[in-house]
Amino acid sequence: MTDLSHLRKDFPILEREMNGKPLVYLDSAATSQKPVQVLDAVDDYYRRLNANVHRGAYQLGEEATDAYEGARAKVAGFINAASDREVVFTRSTTAAINHIGYGWGLYHLKPGDRIVISHMEHHANVVPWQLITRHTGAELAYLPLTEDYLVDTSRIDEVVDGRTKIVSISGMSNVLGTIGPVAEAVAAARAVGALAIVDGAQLVPHCAVDVQSMGADFVAFSAHKMLGPTGVGVLWGRMDRLEEMEPAEGGGEMIRDVDFTESTWAEVPHKFEAGTPPIAQAIGLGAAVDYLSAIGMDAVRQHEIEITRYALEKLSEIPQLTIYGPMDPAQRGAAVSFTLGDIHPHDLATILDQEGVAIRAGHHCAKPLMRVLGLAATARASFYVYNVPEEVDTLVAGLHEARRIFGVA
Ligand code: 7TS
């Protein structure tokens, strides 16, 4: 197996115990842990560089600005953006998608237009569009799933029809692990002149992403799922799309001029960054990008394929355990959802917690998907660079303990 276990020493939280047992953190799809390199970058900013950015009146402010803009350049390099200016810092994936809705959707959609998403979307790629349909009279249409938990693209040209103005699809499901059909979605959007958006919240942390070859108009992701701090996310956009998009938020930092009734905007990306930005967090994201780049995203992906394959194998051996998601690690990421007999997923999480194992249980902010699956909740284990096969074994032992407690044969 690709051995990344030497990385574990960089993550102080992994030294903790839970209920007297070593922490086994299997909830990285919710948020990842942070290496000392990221903690130090944030700490160093506050200790040595703290000043507001883009004001330029004194040296400290210039240093803070350089560090913040330097983080933008690192992110741009990480996703191979054509220009640093295509990277907009937002609060999160959620904020990034809302920004497209309120900055582009509101101005370009009309009654009868279509927004196409899929049945496996996180609420962050569902609810903003529902809000936008209310404002514009556009309607929401869904790409269904196959029986193998893949997005069904066999009739994509019927769903992404001539009325479609936006196609927004998850690059990787946080519930099923399924890798989204990004190339097909982009092609279908292109064919009808629609905007192609990728929710990259789970994709960008786990796979090498080249936004230029991907061909979408926008990609959204969050720092906190890729070893970075909470409170900062990225909206990458193709420059022509960013130029035509309106700011969804107004305030300081984003203007060229403000008159009594009208204002003009600063250049991209600053016209989308109203107010004091998440400076320390962006700098922390820059350090996270450095850290991931040093591992190499191909190694990150390879390690995940291997640990996911191992987890799928071991979990499949447990009687009455059902896995929801593709069984081929090449078609999926490292979030593995399952149920065990009729044990409630929350009870599973509680029993596992006694063993030091942290998993998520619930609807995972994907209620339309839960409706399609006919489930109220699943248990979900999700893996990242610092996880090792022994932790899968601890998970499996905990699940056998749950079977014993609940009398599941
Ligand atoms: N899209 C996907 C695919 C996600 O997994 C998440 C968060 C989001 C969007 C929203 O990201 P945020 O940073 O704006 O909150 N997913 C999860 C999860 O699976 N458990 O907690 C958050």
Is 36 part of any domain? no
Separation of alpha carbons 207 and 171, rounded Å: 10
Residue 33 corresponds to which tokens in the numbers above? 């842990």
Question: What's the pLDDT band for 55 if we cut at 50, 70, 90?
Answer: confident
Say what the pLDDT of residue 105 is.
Answer: 98
Residues 11 and 119 in one domain: no
Closest CA to 353 of 373, 381, 387: 381
Compute the distance from residue 47 Cα to the ligand 1 centre, in Å.
Answer: 31
Report the CATH number that the domain containing residue 152 is assigned in CATH: 3.40.640.10
Residues 261 and 402 in one domain: no
Residues 251 and 373 in one domain: no
Say what the pLDDT of residue 96 is.
Answer: 98
Instruction: Assess whether pLDDT exceeds 80 at residue 402.
Output: yes
Instruction: Assess whether pLDDT exceeds 90 at residue 106.
Output: yes
Compute the distance from residue 146 Cα to the ligand 1 centre, in Å.
Answer: 23
Instruction: Assess whether pLDDT exceeds 80 at residue 394.
Output: yes
Residue 131: Cβ-neighbour burial (10 angstroms; 0-12, 13-18, 19+): middle
Ligand 1 pocket: which of 118, 129, 169, 174 to mutate (most atoms <8 Å of CB)?
174
Question: Which of 54-58, 200-204, 353-357 shows the lowest mean pLDDT across its residues?
Answer: 54-58
By three-state DSSP, how is residue 89 classified? Answer: strand
* Domain termination residue (choose one: 225, 256, 271): 271
Residues in the ligand 1 pocket, defined by CB under 6 Å: 29-30, 92-94, 122, 124-125, 170, 174, 199, 201-202, 222, 360, 364-365
Is 65 part of any domain? no
Residue 271 contacts residue 247 (beta carbons within 8 Å): yes
Report the CATH number that the domain containing residue 301 is assigned in CATH: 3.90.1150.10
Q: Quick one: which atom of ligand 1 is closest to the CA of 29? A: 19
Largest pairwise CA distance in the chain: 73
Is 140 part of any domain? yes
Say what the pLDDT of residue 75 is.
Answer: 99
Residues 258 and 311 in one domain: no
Across residues 221-236, what is the average pLDDT? 99
How far CA 304 is from CA of 75, 374, 388, in Å, comes to 22, 28, 10
How many structural domains comprise the chain?
Answer: 2
Residues 227 and 345 in one domain: no
Separation of alpha carbons 52 and 71, rounded Å: 15
Percent helix, strand and coil across the chain, each to the nearest 5: 45, 20, 35
Compute the distance from residue 226 Cα to the ligand 1 centre, in Å.
Answer: 12
Q: How far is Cα of residue 24 from the mean position of the Cα atoms in its chain?
A: 22
Instruction: Assess whether pLDDT exceeds 80 at residue 1.
Output: no
Is 19 part of any domain? yes
CA torsion angle for 154, 155, 160, 162 (degrees, to 10)? 140
Rg (CA), the chain: 22
Say what the pLDDT of residue 288 is.
Answer: 99
Question: What's the pLDDT band for 56 if we cut at 50, 70, 90?
Answer: confident
Say what the pLDDT of residue 260 is.
Answer: 97
Q: How many CB atoms are located within 10 Å of the residue 392 CB? A: 23
Residues 112 and 207 in one domain: yes
Q: Quick one: which atom of ligand 1 is closest to the CA of 124? A: 9
Q: Quick one: which atom of ligand 1 is closest to the CA of 174? A: 5
Check if 365 is active-site. yes
State what percent of residues in the chain have pLDDT above 70.
Answer: 100
pTM above the 0.95 mark? yes
Residues 232 and 345 in one domain: no
In terms of residue numbers, what domain contains 399?
5-28+296-406
Residue 309 contacts residue 330 (beta carbons within 8 Å): no
Say what the pLDDT of residue 335 is.
Answer: 98
Residues 103 and 213 in one domain: yes
Is 259 part of any domain? yes
